[in-house]
A and B are shown apart, each in its own frame.
Chain A
Amino acid sequence: MTIKSTLTGAAIAAALLSTSAAAEVLFWSTQAKPVEEAQAMREQVLSGFAGEVDYQPNDGGPWITRLNAELEAGSGSIGVLGALHGDFSAMDPENLVDLDDLGVSAASDTFNSLAMLGTDNMQYIPWMQASYIMAANREALPYLPDGADINALTYDQLIAWAANVHEATGEPRFGFPAGPNGLKHRFFQGYLYPSYTDGVVRTFASEAAVGAWEAFRELWAHTNPGSTNFSFMQEQLLNGDAWIVFDHTSRLAQAFNDRPDDFVAFPAPAGPTGRGFMPVIAGVAIPATAPDMDEARALVEHMLLPETQIATLRATNFFPVVDVELPDDLPPSVQAAGAAVATMSASPDANPGLLPAGLGDKGGEFNRVFVDTFERIILAGQPIEAVLEDQKETLMRIMEETGAPCWAPDAPSEGACPVE
């Protein structure tokens, strides 16, 4: 190598090594990941912030790995974290800056106390919320069973409806997000179990739970068998593989936005113990290693402003957590989902559940219990009682190891929530 080329090499190396000095706040998020939502976050939500923001949505793996690396190295570039309650609850609260003195919080006290992660201070600030609802193709509406009100369905009526559609079209057209990235576990934890057993953990292997799984097995007979590959039901609504579906509001949004006149959104059905449903809550937090604490705090405050909350709603289909007056010109998906969620929570038999809390990093294992139970009972056709007795052991072990107390709709407990 000549001296000249060595010099050029060194110059290139120097160029490659240099990092641009960043005055931007790095917003490290697991939410608003789809490219369109990320784009909307950058252009509509964060453009209103006085400083510069670099919005980077990530998969859960890289998100937590990078964060842990910065915390361990003791210096970092992440300014603000955006994630689900479950992501934060798996972290050590010591690594998050206490945010009480910001003076911003959610309108719901339940959310605010969840955000303390078992400490006495706010570890994250609730940022936005969503829920799971049902949606249907209008073509399915004529097959509603006699006397059924779509805004007050029961599980029996839902099964009869799916059966009618199956019979009339010759194809099972109920769609369920049982794919690898589907949110099926939330259906069992927040919808099926509360509606049939008025509990999740205590009643896991109860007689009522057997009834719940029997009902779900009936529903599965009219479910598109391709459901084990479905993760975003908006796709199956749009291509017609499913006519009646259950999913997260933001995972149905595209169907309503693309063809608002073809689909209806409605509340989840009710069972013997009421209409179980569950909120989803995302929060913003500041890691202890944030490079510019003041800018990060300012950004967290900005995220909670009413205008930002409405912009966030438009961008992500997640609803505000503070009291805001919603404008009339919201996208169709927001209007449809908002109405369905409102009807659901205002229904006389509403039985709201909470997100699993206090499980720490065992949240994934807790979800696994429900997914395994589903796969064994529904997909493998194993006897319900035996599977529940078996899975109960795992669930009990998780509860005892974490010592997590019961959450609604389970009755409160002293110490770890028992599996009865």
Chain B
Amino acid sequence: MTAETTDVAEVGANTRKAGQYVYIAAVVLLCAWVIVPLYFLLINTLSSPEAVNSYPKPFIPEFDLGSLTFFANFAGILTALKNSILVAALTMVMSIAIGAPAGYALSRFEFRGKELFRLLILLTRAFPLPLLALPLAVMFIRVGIDDTIFGLALVHTTLAIPFAVLITFSLFSGIPIELEEAAWTLGCNRLTAFQKVILPLVLPGITASAIFAFVISWNEVFAAAVLTIENRTLTAFLLQNLDTSPLHLKFAGGFILVVPALIFIFAVRKYLFAMWGIANR
């Protein structure tokens, strides 16, 4: 009897151990999936052109700053970086300002054409930008918002809104209306109830959709290349020129494009994790 229980306990412990190994292996694999390419990008960025073209690749960077120095001296790169950040920030603000109320309305109110509205929102992503860019550019030139940060942010907002609406829609739907009703009975009106009860609960989710908006704007090339000239974004400024550049500059350029986005996501990671329920760890 006693022997049997120990056996069972041992089997149980073994299974748990095996499970743990699988768990750790999965975590390592997932991390490697993300980190290894970034690490290679870093190594190759910090390598001399000869090392980049050689094989096998070294695992430790040699800290050759040649490729990065080239970009540091590349005319207009800082302005482009500034423009990219401005456009992405503006896109973030506008897509949340427009998307979050729409998401709230979709989750709280019944109105005619609601389903159609949801479909239409998704449709803004159905047309490829190269198709839209020509009429857009013509209109922008005529209206006078061609080659402005605001104009480009408008386009990027359009691209980001479906995500903002759908993410906030599911966020608001996840919060019971009873909470709001309770607030109303305790002296809040619709606005203050939203402000005091709902907003703190959905803030992390809103941050997440803001990050989506940021990344969408940061990565967009075609509209940026057509709609801006003096005020180019970093992606429009660099990305089109990188595919035909030598390998070591491709790596360095890629690095420069990736790092600001990484820094941004790192800075707001707290809010993202908060959405997944492991706040502030």
Residues of A in contact with B (beta carbons under 8 Å apart): 13, 16-20, 22, 26, 33-36, 38-39, 42-43, 54, 56-59, 61-62, 65-66, 68-70, 72-73, 75-77, 181, 232, 234-235, 238-240, 254, 258
**Contact in complex: B141, A26 (CB < 8 Å):** no
How many A-B pairs with Cβ below 8 Å?
Answer: 107
Residues of B close to A75: CB separation below 8 A:
141
27 cross-chain CB contacts under 8 A: A16-B86, A16-B149, A16-B153, A19-B231, A34-B241, A34-B244, A34-B246, A34-B249, A35-B71, A35-B238, A35-B245, A39-B73, A39-B74, A39-B75, A61-B130, A61-B222, A62-B225, A62-B240, A65-B130, A65-B134, A65-B137, A72-B138, A77-B147, A232-B244, A239-B54, A240-B55, A258-B49
**Contact in complex: B245, A34 (CB < 8 Å):** yes
Residues of A close to B253: CB separation below 8 A:
35
B41-98 interface with A by 8 A CB criterion: 49-50, 53-55, 70-71, 73-75, 86, 90
The number of chain B residues with a CB under 8 A from chain A is 44
**Contact in complex: B150, A66 (CB < 8 Å):** no
Among A36, A42, A239, contact of B75 (Cβ-Cβ < 8 Å): A42
In angstroms, Cα B48 to Cα A238, docked, is 13
Residues of A close to B110: CB separation below 8 A:
none
Among A36, A38, A58, A70, contact of B141 (Cβ-Cβ < 8 Å): A70
In angstroms, Cα B147 to Cα A26, docked, is 13
Residues of A close to B73: CB separation below 8 A:
39
Query: Nearest chain-A residue to B148 (Cβ)?
Result: A17
* 0/1 string, B129-141, CB within 8 A of A gives 1: 0100110011001
In angstroms, Cα B247 to Cα A235, docked, is 7
Q: How far is the CB of A52 from chain B (nearest CB, A)?
A: 12
**Chain A interface mostly helix, strand, loop or mixed?**
helix
**Chain B interface mostly helix, strand, loop or mixed?**
helix
B279 at the A/B interface (Cβ < 8 Å)?
no
**Contact in complex: A19, B148 (CB < 8 Å):** yes
Among A16, A18, A35, A234, contact of B241 (Cβ-Cβ < 8 Å): A35
Q: How far is the CB of B276 from chain A (nearest CB, A)?
A: 32
**Contact in complex: B241, A57 (CB < 8 Å):** yes
In angstroms, Cα B225 to Cα A285, docked, is 20
Q: How far is the CB of B99 from chain A (nearest CB, A)?
A: 18
**Contact in complex: B246, A36 (CB < 8 Å):** yes
Query: Nearest chain-B residue to A19 (Cβ)?
Result: B147
In angstroms, Cα B53 to Cα A235, docked, is 7
**Contact in complex: A69, B74 (CB < 8 Å):** no
Q: How far is the CB of B41 from chain A (nearest CB, A)?
A: 17
Q: How far is the CB of A31 from chain B (nearest CB, A)?
A: 10
Q: How far is the CB of B62 from chain A (nearest CB, A)?
A: 17
In angstroms, Cα B50 to Cα A58, docked, is 28
Q: Give the most central of A20, A36, A66: most B CB within 10 Å.
A: A66
Residues of A close to B265: CB separation below 8 A:
none
* 0/1 string, B233-273, CB within 8 A of A gives 1: 00010101111111101000100000000000000000000
Residues of B close to A16: CB separation below 8 A:
86, 90, 148-150, 153
B201 at the A/B interface (Cβ < 8 Å)?
no
In angstroms, Cα B153 to Cα A13, docked, is 12
In angstroms, Cα B141 to Cα A76, docked, is 8
B203 at the A/B interface (Cβ < 8 Å)?
no
In angstroms, Cα B75 to Cα A12, docked, is 26
B142 at the A/B interface (Cβ < 8 Å)?
yes
**Contact in complex: B142, A73 (CB < 8 Å):** yes
Residues of A close to B145: CB separation below 8 A:
17
In angstroms, Cα B138 to Cα A17, docked, is 17
Residues of A close to B238: CB separation below 8 A:
35
Closest 4 CB pairs of A and B: A69-B137, A62-B225, A73-B141, A34-B245
**Contact in complex: B141, A33 (CB < 8 Å):** no
**Contact in complex: A36, B70 (CB < 8 Å):** yes
B4 at the A/B interface (Cβ < 8 Å)?
no
B115 at the A/B interface (Cβ < 8 Å)?
no
Q: How far is the CB of B69 from chain A (nearest CB, A)?
A: 12
Q: Give the most central of A18, A69, A181, A238: most B CB within 10 Å.
A: A69
Q: How far is the CB of A36 from chain B (nearest CB, A)?
A: 7
In angstroms, Cα B54 to Cα A56, docked, is 32
Given contacts A34-B241, A77-B229, 14 further A-B contacts (CB under 8 A): A19-B230, A20-B230, A33-B244, A34-B244, A34-B249, A35-B71, A43-B75, A54-B230, A61-B130, A62-B236, A62-B240, A65-B130, A69-B138, A69-B141
